[in-house]
Chain A
């Protein structure tokens, strides 16, 4: 038996709606099997994974804190991916944004005032954007594969941050521990509802970024240009769009948003620089972007779902003693199912029983 794909004339409206739910259903089924194999009650396990974190206000706050960086980065990447540019170095741009934005509170701690935070945010975006411009420049100028160059730059950024916090930027009063001085109050992203929980303006950024990007892709010429050039460079050229300018736009856009996520995370949640500031947000965001099918609104939902699996993993550890690896396994499975089910939108999947190969020999 073979599986053959046949391209649909147009996207299947049925599967466009149902494929994420189908994927979620399959993930839950797989989860039930895993929990059962581990000797746990699958239903209480699923409950603590997907429901328990949503039952309390503080936990919802934490959900937004965890989701905000994922959403901001993924929305930026979606534009980049739609234009057929493959920036997988968002992790590095996140770090560079955080570093650039931290220049003020770390090096000029005496500069205090309400103007500091907006400056930090702008510098963070510039830092992330500038770092993303490197693969863009290499791609347009030398035709260098951007997947690989942007990936390599992630490691360089990580090591640069490591070097800074252990050396030049180390807190002079910090007993040699590898971290910068703590940000002063003007450099800390304020909390939204201080009385009910710690969520901060990072989530507001996520909402704004999502809506603006959605509007741009839907109603502005730039969005049209992104889609046209993403589908076919040639078609784009006939329409009068410049591909190399699009490469720069895509990278600067996604880099700046990754930088924004970086500085929001550092100034909102960590409040200082340390050797590791991201548990892989830049890579997880790629998954979020695809989970949300490269649509800003979808990404917003996907970011929340993924954040939920992190929180659920912890809840499950405490309430039923599940190993912490389960969260990783779940995320991996969820994405596999989403990617697989999405194939149904564009293709009809046929199970071919006979072994007669009509043409080619592709099987």
Chain B
């Protein structure tokens, strides 16, 4: 494997958890719900995925349980914000705090133990294509899922009736409700999908990225995922680009250092956030673009009229 390939591979591993968490949150936000608990769901997913993989010896079962945990944990958020119409910002933040605490307790007995890594699955024929093959077709299963999810979500949101309904709910829940669309049920499903994706992102962290369990190992990736959704202006393919760009900046900075180039690392690290703000301004100053992309009901509670 040459240097370029090796670097790209590292970037892909770094980008995958961001991508997964972001694509989940994208669906949640498209339905008009803002869940700031991504960080908490990732870390819960990671703790459970590691524990299950370690106890059962089966990393696939671990990954599955990580995703299920994320979904189950997000139900807590769903029940409060959707059924009891609590404030989404506050509820999401509490979900993060609770997740960081609970995961620490679940994982405590697993700290310092060697993990059960998910191995690569080479896809026959395709993986032997020069250069691209080893990068795209000799990866672990979570990577494949992340890419499938991007295209799947893109297709779902913009090519299916159900996706259209979900977007309609996010844009105006009152008129969607008047048209007979089940607002709350759809949002529940979206929130759980987001939770499952975040949980899977957590599983990637402790089964692929660094096969071990460490407290707070999500290290702020949930917040970056939230930024990526905006950076990608709620479009799956742009989120894909954003996640890989973010991964590239992170990894590139380490390579620059190893080459002996001195750049203030804080400046590079701040770039993605500044870029996100710029993108946010660019898409929101143009009314048409805003209407097309931004879920207008984002973060607002919904109580059906009776």
Contacts and interface: CB of A to CB of B under 8 A. Distances in A.
Nearest to B97: A332
Given A159-B269, A339-B94, 4 more contacts: A5-B84, A151-B227, A329-B101, A360-B180
B303 interface: yes
A329 B40 CA distance: 11
A323 B215 CA distance: 13
Contacts of B89: 86, 88, 147, 286
Interface string A318-339: 0000011111111111011001
Contact of A328 (B104, B284, B290): B104
A336 B277 contact: no
Contacts, number: 167
B95 interface: yes
B281 to A, nearest CB: 5
Interface in A110-168: 138, 141-145, 147-149, 151-153, 155-156, 159-160, 162-163, 166-167
A9 to B, nearest CB: 14
Interface stretch (A230-238, A243-251, A261-269, A340-348): A340-348
Contacts of A340: 80, 84, 86
A6 B267 contact: no
A101 to B, nearest CB: 21
A283 interface: yes
Interface of B: 34, 36, 76, 80, 83-87, 89-91, 93-95, 97-102, 104-105, 108, 177-178, 180-185, 223, 226-227, 230, 264, 266-267, 269-270, 273-274, 276-277, 280-281, 284-285, 287, 290, 294, 298-299, 303-304, 306
Contact of B97 (A167, A324, A331): A331
B97 A339 contact: no
A7 interface: yes
Contact of B270 (A88, A160, A166, A333): A160
A274 B266 CA distance: 15
Interface of A: 3, 5-7, 86, 88, 138, 141-145, 147-149, 151-153, 155-156, 159-160, 162-163, 166-167, 283, 286-287, 289-290, 323-333, 335-336, 339-340, 342-343, 347, 349, 359-363
B172 to A, nearest CB: 14
A147 B34 contact: yes
Contacts of A289: 90
A168 to B, nearest CB: 11
A151 B76 CA distance: 23
Nearest to A5: B303
Given A152-B227, A325-B105, A329-B101, A343 B85 contact: yes
B189 to A, nearest CB: 12
Most chain-B CB neighbours within 10 Å: which of A152, A163, A290, A347? A152
